[in-house]
Structure 1
Amino acid sequence: MSAAPVLPVTAAPRPPAPRRSPRGLVQPIAAVTSVVVLLGVPFWLIIATASKPHAEALDPDLSPPSHWQLLHNVSTVVEDGRMLKAFFGSLLVMVPSVAIVLVLGSMASWVLARRTSRLLAAVYAIAISGIVLPPAVVTIVLLLRQLGLAGTPVGMVGVYCGMYLSTVIFFVTGFVRTIPVELEEAARVDGASPVRVFFQIVFPLLRPVLATATILICLYIWNDVFYALFVIGGRLDTLPLNLYQVASSGLYLQNWELIFSYILVMSLPLLIVFAVAQRRIISGVTGGAVK
């Protein structure tokens, strides 16, 4: 008895890939064009103006400089604008403020996320209300004068801690709720104290959201000139305060190439940090939205 012939197996033909209609290309092209216009044009204006000679920079525009002298303008800014001293002044108020806010805000968020009661719900609402309620500058200055902290870095650190503690609590509380409670219960069974549970179990798991909060708070403090002007103006130089002072004096008056060079150098540290940590920032923003 002869076996039945085996027919060759042929793969099913793939359906043709759908072609994008011209209308489907309009949206991505419009989005990319909007990003280029909104971000690229201001950035090019800063670069071009900071690279021009003084005669060409009197009327800032988008035209490229006839002679690029960005390094010369930057060196002039660093040497004559007391920028190095202002840089350390900004670090003096930013680093302690960020460290204190992250630790205290994380501890408060841990308690608010793990315990549920009407009282703590009201405390949480009051804690995050600082995001939308602007602080009263006059009251802050008068209070610092009564405490003897007006015009001091300690007073400025206290102001920043009070202003941005709400931001940390808002970000971290939602993220803590995504951490399994069993990790903390296992540590308590082994005899760990609440402080040890927080710093050895919970705090290391908060790195993504703390990275996000760190970048945002550093951005706010690094570029702040309004509150610093009233609290420490004239007693301690920060980069925005120093730029405001030298731009208002005869040194940088109508010297747009120096002003834009100062802005470029002042923004460079945060741009580098943001470019390096952008993935961690995005994961921290979306991590608290799981629950």
Structure 2
Amino acid sequence: MRSSARDWSRLVHPAVVIILTAVVIGIPLWLALVTSAKSQGEANLPDLSLPRVWHLWDNYSQAFTQGRMLWALFGSLLVMVPSVAGVLIFGSLASWVLARRAGRLMAVLYSAAISGIILPPAVVTIVLLLRQLNLASTPIGMMLVYMGMYMSLVIFFVTGFVRTIPVEVEEAARMDGARPLGIFIKVVLPLLRPVIATATILICLYIWNDVFYAFFVLGGGTYSTLPLNLYSVASSNLYQNNWNLVFAYVVLMSLPLVVVFVVAQRRIISGITGGAVK
């Protein structure tokens, strides 16, 4: 009886997971794909059926050109690339120091550094501070906000990974005359590639999809990111009641992230288990 019950549970559990995944992820994804290929009349009554007449190319070309996706793509890359590079450089250096120094002060600093994972950013304070610094509605202000937000995540991942690296490797380089910065660049940094790749992919996902903080920091400025631009065009007369164009924009905006996640999902999992868990 126990053996049959175990065999039954082994069959039921994967089936339940597959069904839940199909319902939670598959249905919204299918709805977005089929709606992006429908006409305006069909898209106003969204359902899971295939379009009677396919308007795939027309909808995607209109979403790309009329929605100013190229300029918004430039804005997203302009904000994301320096933000990710800056938070990885400074976060990795801080993580190396926190992992190699012992004492109560380092423990307090580490706790304060990773507190940003659970503490929400004070949006109003951030916006007021950026206005006083004349950085509101600028890409530099947005970069600083993202670096401050995701610094805790990088420190959390990288510090745990650095602690798994033997100290003897650094001591050997120090005996050969290497300075601290040279030890980090030539010895420690190459060993951090798995966890840095994981942090890079996760932060890119967060920044690419962010519309909340971009709305408060970049709203009303010259530059715009893809999600913020989608909010703008969807609220204007251009996309009013044109749900086919909205979903076409969403699919085009999400396509790079889907490709990156599918290609790098194993590296994401290995980096998390190799750094954060340890």
Q: TM-score range by the shorter chain?
A: over 0.9
Superposed displacement of residue 278, structure 1: 1.2
Superposed displacement of residue 21, structure 1: 3.9
Is the alpha carbon distance of 1:53 and 1:194 closer, same or farther for their aligned partners in structure 2, counting shifts above 3 Å? same
**Alignment: residue pair count:** 274
Alignment pair present for 1:266 and 2:253: yes
Larger C-alpha radius of gyration, 1 or 2? Answer: 1
Is the alpha carbon distance of 1:115 and 1:40 closer, same or farther for their aligned partners in structure 2, counting shifts above 3 Å? same
The letter of the residue matching 1:274 is: F
State the SS of the aligned residue for 2:230: helix
Superposed displacement of residue 138, structure 1: 1.2
The letter of the residue matching 2:47 is: D
Alignment pair present for 1:115 and 2:101: yes
Contact 1:50 1:70 in 2 (8 A): yes
Alignment pair present for 1:148 and 2:154: no
1:214 to 194, 197, 200: 200
1:132 to 118, 139, 142: 118
Work out the CA distance in 1 between the residues paired with 2:86 and 2:216.
Answer: 22
Runs of 4 or more off by more than 2 Å in structure 1?
18-24
Work out the CA distance in 2 between the residues paired with 1:39 and 1:80.
Answer: 29
Work out the CA distance in 1 between the residues paired with 2:11 and 2:64.
Answer: 46
Unaligned runs of 5+ in 2: none
The letter of the residue matching 2:227 is: P
1:198 to 152, 167, 184: 184
Q: Sequence identity, in percent?
A: 66
1:53 to 39, 47, 59: 39
Work out the CA distance in 2 between the residues paired with 1:130 and 1:20.
Answer: 43
Is the alpha carbon distance of 1:174 and 1:79 closer, same or farther for their aligned partners in structure 2, counting shifts above 3 Å? same
The letter of the residue matching 1:56 is: E
Question: Which residue number in structure 2 is paired with residue 287 of structure 1?
Answer: 274
Provide the TM-score with structure 1 as the length reference.
Answer: 0.91
Question: Which residue number in structure 1 is paired with residue 263 of structure 2?
Answer: 276
Superposed displacement of residue 290, structure 1: 5.9
Contact 1:178 1:290 in 2 (8 A): no
Provide the TM-score with structure 2 as the length reference.
Answer: 0.95
Contact 1:211 1:284 in 2 (8 A): yes
Work out the CA distance in 2 between the residues paired with 1:81 and 1:108.
Answer: 41
Alignment pair present for 1:253 and 2:253: no
The CA deviation string for residues 79-108 of structure 1, in whole angstroms up to 9 with x for no partner, is 111010000000000000000000100000
Aligned-pair RMSD on alpha carbons? 1.5
Work out the CA distance in 2 between the residues paired with 1:227 and 1:99.
Answer: 19
Unaligned runs of 5+ in 1: 1-17
Work out the CA distance in 2 between the residues paired with 1:243 and 1:128.
Answer: 32
The letter of the residue matching 1:270 is: L
Contact 1:208 1:283 in 2 (8 A): yes
Work out the CA distance in 2 between the residues paired with 1:30 and 1:224.
Answer: 31
Superposed displacement of residue 152, structure 1: 1.0
The more displaced of 80-89 and 227-236 is: 227-236
